[in-house]
């Protein structure tokens, strides 16, 4: 079924740091993200491939209504011969995706009515992804299933208006929680509408009269760990050797995903023994900065502090590194320019190196923190603590176990790690109710490029602000009148949305705005009833 629908739509933008197209059943090792796209590589079955009896029909077949619709109809695609200007969903956010349907179908094939097919591909994942999304459009209906679990659907085979919206805009679903380490089966169930959706009357329709197709794509993103290779100490040189402390920070660590990085100092060592009578020339192990004494052996070639660290992002990515700080013998003037804290010549008159602030660095390293002797090397035989919800790392001071972050970036979910799998449970109580109102004034996909009546936008924004200021669970008595006031305003917003339809605002836009209003009203009534 295809109906004319005029609207300007924009789907969720997906940023791809690096993309790898994944074949059926193919594993990948190092790709930070994997692109999914509907194309001829997907298997097509007559039924759910997880259920015995499903018949393999072949590979998916690219389809178009006609050479000009959709935009950029791929070469070799089946042309239904339908002249309706539909299938207008913006596919720019799912690169490589084309409209597809079952193999062997042409515009003359009958019957097209209520035909249902299943598109499937198996992905082998080496780890739980950081995030995974799939966007879907359909003529007339599509449902997304991941490992047998239904994730979401778009369109309808009973409501022609909803079916029209499904072919004009993409709907995006988060599939992160459904994915597991190892094999994952992605299934898209596509269904065509009945003959009554098309102009062929009550009889059997051909695909020219009642076209069918689905289009989908998305990205599975994995965390890339920080990079420690170019780290450096700030400052890199300390002078004069006055036995005072200087704070050293680790700079130059980058995260290719732009994630925040936490630095932890694991060990501090030096190429000169600690002074007699002292058991510590440095501190800061376990923190994000090191503190060292600016001193060196006057008869040596300068002291080098070696600062070992690890850097972690919030999603379990870790790298380890080492930076150095030099306390030079002198500054290249032929004799030592530094005095000790008693005003005495610290190097006892020995001349400095001709090359100035360079430090000689060789021989054994001595622990700068809490020891007067050379510590035994750390032997990390195995750091696995048996907890799949921690990231285990061997550092110069031993094993480090960092909690795995499951933050999905969605404020309306409670994120936890269970047996190595991140779960994202929707917020409950007043927090869940407030989330529905937070969505009200945000841009609507189906309304991009559409000027909503000023009164409607004002009411939606004011209602969201009103609920945001409510004390919630901490003071239910004060919250109740605020919620009732919000319900009253939503009633006004609903009436304004229907007037917008009569003023020429697109059906898709009105449907989406009305849906958000309806969800917010239902959440408000549920909260009041529960009190």
Per-residue pLDDT at 329 = 83
Q: What does the domain layout of the chain look like in residue ranges? A: 20-221, 225-374, 429-530
Mean pLDDT of 469-486: 81
Tokens of 332: 């290249």
Tokens of 357: 């602030």
Which CATH number is 20-221 given? 2.60.120
Could you tell me what percent of the chain has a pLDDT over 70?
82
34, containing H or E segment: strand 33-37
Per-residue pLDDT at 104 = 95
Q: How far is CA 424 from CA 46, 175, 433, in A?
A: 33, 11, 17
Q: In what order do the strands lie in the sheet with 262-270?
A: 318-327, 303-312, 262-270, 366-367
The CA distance from 200 to 209, in Å, is: 6
> Quick check: 311 pLDDT over 80?
yes
259, containing H or E segment: none
Per-residue pLDDT at 133 = 94
Mean pLDDT of 47-67: 94
Confidence of residue 480 (pLDDT cuts 50, 70, 90): confident
The CA distance from 528 to 531, in Å, is: 5
Over residues 320-364, the pLDDT tens digits come to 999 999 999 887 643 333 333 333 333 333 333 334 456 877 778
Of 432 and 346, the structure prediction assigns the larger pLDDT to: 432
Residue with tokens 């898709």: 508
Least confident of 157-171, 311-325, 400-414: 400-414
Provide the whole-model pTM: 0.55
Confidence of residue 461 (pLDDT cuts 50, 70, 90): confident
Q: How far is CA 189 from CA 120, 149, 482, in A?
A: 9, 12, 43
> Quick check: 55 pLDDT over 80?
yes
Strand 33-37 relative to strand 213-221: parallel, antiparallel, unpaired? antiparallel
């Amino acid at each position: 079924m295809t109906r004319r629908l005029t609207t300007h739509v924009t789907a969720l933008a997906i940023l791809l740091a690096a993309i790898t197209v994944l074949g059926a059943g193919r594993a990948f090792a190092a790709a930070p993200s994997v692109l999914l796209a509907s194309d001829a590589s997907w298997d097509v079955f007559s039924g759910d491939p997880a259920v015995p009896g499903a018949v393999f029909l072949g590979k998916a077949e690219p389809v178009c209504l006609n050479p000009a619709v959709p935009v950029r109809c791929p070469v070799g695609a089946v042309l239904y011969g339908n002249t309706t200007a539909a299938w207008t969903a913006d596919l720019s956010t799912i690169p490589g995706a084309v409209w597809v349907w079952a193999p062997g179908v042409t515009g003359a094939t009958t019957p097209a009515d209520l035909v249902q097919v299943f598109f499937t591909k198996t992905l082998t994942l080496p780890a739980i992804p950081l995030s995974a999304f799939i966007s879907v459009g359909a003529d007339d209906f599509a449902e997304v299933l991941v490992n047998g679990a239904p994730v979401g659907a778009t369109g309808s085979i009973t409501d022609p208006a909803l079916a029209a919206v499904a072919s004009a805009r993409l709907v995006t679903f988060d599939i992160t929680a459904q994915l597991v380490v190892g094999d994952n089966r992605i299934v898209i169930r596509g269904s065509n509408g009945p003959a009554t959706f098309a102009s062929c009357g009550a009889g059997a329709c051909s695909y020219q009269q009642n076209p069918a197709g689905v289009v989908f794509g998305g990205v599975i993103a994995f965390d890339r760990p920080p990079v420690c290779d170019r780290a450096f100490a700030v400052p890199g040189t300390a002078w004069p050797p006055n036995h005072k402390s200087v704070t050293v920070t680790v700079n130059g660590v980058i995260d290719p995903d732009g994630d925040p990085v936490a630095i932890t100092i694991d060990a501090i060592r030096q190429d000169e023994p600690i002074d007699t009578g002292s058991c510590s020339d440095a501190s800061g192990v376990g923190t994000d900065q090191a503190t060292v004494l600016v001193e060196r052996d006057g008869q040596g070639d300068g002291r080098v502090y070696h600062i070992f660290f690890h850097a972690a992002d919030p999603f379990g990515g870790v790298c380890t590194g080492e930076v150095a700080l030099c306390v030079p013998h002198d500054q290249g003037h032929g004799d030592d320019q530094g005095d000790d804290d008693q005003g005495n010549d610290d190097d006892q008159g020995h001349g400095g190196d001709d090359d100035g602030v360079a430090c000689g660095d060789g021989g054994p390293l001595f622990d700068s923190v809490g020891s007067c002797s050379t510590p035994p090397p750390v032997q990390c035989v195995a750091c696995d603590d048996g907890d799949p919800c921690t990231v285990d790392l061997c550092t110069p001071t031993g094993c480090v176990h960092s909690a795995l972050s499951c933050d999905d970036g969605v404020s309306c979910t409670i994120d936890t790690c269970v047996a190595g799998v991140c779960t994202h449970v929707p917020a409950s109580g007043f927090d869940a109710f407030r989330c529905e109102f937070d969505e009200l004034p945000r841009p609507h996909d189906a309304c991009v490029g559409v000027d909503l009546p000023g009164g409607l936008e004002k009411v939606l924004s004011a209602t969201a602000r009103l609920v945001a200021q409510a004390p919630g669970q901490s003071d239910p008595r004060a919250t109740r009148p605020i919620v009732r006031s919000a319900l009253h305003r939503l009633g006004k917003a609903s009436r304004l949305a229907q007037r917008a339809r009569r003023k020429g605002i697109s059906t898709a836009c009105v449907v989406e705005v009305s849906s958000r209003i309806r969800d917010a009203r239902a959440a408000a009534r549920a909260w009041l009833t529960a009190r």
